[in-house]
Amino acid sequence: MNRAAILIVLLLASTHSFSESSSGDFMAYGLGSISCGKYSSISKNGSDRSMANQWVFGFVTAKNESLHFDKVKSYLDGVDTQAITKYIENYCDKKPLDQLYSAANRLVYDLSLKNEK
């Protein structure tokens, strides 16, 4: 099976993973539902880590796009993918029981505070 077919299978399989918050307020689908411990255990140079990072980049981009409709300044100015990845790695190392979604959401929150200054 070639790499593209494997990637498609993994992406389709990951879309069926979801987790509900304890309060039932939201659902995290796909790779966002994996634990930070799982994220931290994935090889940094492997395709699984790359896919998890792509999920984070998509999440952060979508949140940033939603600000565009509210006419709020982008919080991604001057932030590159390496900085985002490092933030997620640090968060997940400290909170292995949290979901990847929680790490990405906290990143968005912290970056939004930067805009308030």
**Residue 42: φ, ψ to 5°:** -75, 135
Strand partners, 18: 29
Q: Where are the domains of the chain?
A: 34-116
Tens digit of pLDDT for each residue in 43-95? 888 899 999 999 999 999 998 888 766 666 778 888 899 999 999 999 999 99
pTM of the model as a whole: 0.74
Residues in the chain: 117
CA 17 to chain centre: 14
